[in-house]
Amino acid sequence: QVQLVESGGGLVQAGGSLRVSCAASLRTFGNYAMGWFRQAPGKEREFVAAISRSGETTRYADSVKGRFTISRENAKNTVWLQMNSLKPEDTAVYSCAAVRSASNGVVFTIGSQYNIWGQGTQVTVSS
């Protein structure tokens, strides 16, 4: 059974850093484009960052550009989201998602484009 398991969430003060991880039980992890999304209470899920299956292409939401970095290591079946200069408005449940991709350079930024989701990890930024 395909699974995505997030970890690394927690409570951090504004201005601090946190790295969340997503471990995938996908036999051919390198064939999947990955993404991070977040959902705050009372708000819709929103795109945060995406990375192509080879890692050569990344994309970020404007709200996190310059502060967050998405990366992956296919040999470890893992994708990370490094979050720096965190703000209270970054508080949300962060979920990773996967979709099989035929191209090394393609990223996906819409939630409905993904068909495998993790349960999410809570990130809380205090002011």
In this predicted model, what pLDDT tens digit does every residue of 63-122 receive, in sequence order? 999 999 999 999 999 999 999 999 999 999 999 999 999 999 999 999 999 999 999 999
Structure tokens at 38: 């977040």
pLDDT at 19: 98
C-alpha–C-alpha distance, residues 83 and 81, integer Å: 6
C-alpha–C-alpha distance, residues 86 and 46, integer Å: 17
- From residue 28, alpha-carbon distances to 33, 84, 101 in Å are 11, 30, 11
C-alpha–C-alpha distance, residues 13 and 1, integer Å: 37
